[in-house]
Structure 1
């Protein structure tokens, strides 16, 4: 891991097209501005972990869960 010290207003450039700017520092909180191309996904790590965990939980759905979901569908009419 690379550790850098920056002051408010200073920037870090990642690759050719991602720029991190230190916007504010208050106590133990640092506010960062991130300029990146639209195709680059930027997420907070804790949010990404929560989404991954929710996806894993959903993938573990059992037969009872699937039956409960199927019961919510309106009956189909065959013609």
Structure 2
């Protein structure tokens, strides 16, 4: 990981076409601006993690619902 100190208005360049500009520095965080081509996805890590967890939970719920539906469709066995 590269760690840099930057001041407001200073920029970082990643590759040939991504520019990160320091917009504001506050006591509770730093505001940055990101200029990137449309095909480059830029996401906050915590949002991606939340979406991934929600998708995993939904998949588990779907699996449980599918299992319950299959069980309901099976003919009863003599031990039921």
TM-score normalized by the length of structure 1 = 0.77
Match of 2:16 in 1: 16
SS for the counterpart of 2:58 is: helix
Q: CA deviation at 1:59?
A: 1.2
Map 1:39-54 onto structure 2 (within 5 A): 39-54=39-54
| Change beyond 3 A, Cα 1:35–1:63 | same
Change (3 A) 1:52 1:66: farther
Q: What are the equivalent positions in structure 2 for 1:1-79 lying under 5 Å apart?
A: 1-60=1-60, 61=62, 62-63=64-65
* Structure with greater helix share of residues: 2
Q: Secondary structure at the match of 1:63?
A: helix
Q: Aligned Cα RMSD in Å?
A: 1.8
Q: Write out the 4+ residue segments of structure 1 that deviate beyond 6 Å after TM superposition.
A: none
**Relative to structure 2, which stretch is displaced further, 8-17 or 52-61?**
52-61
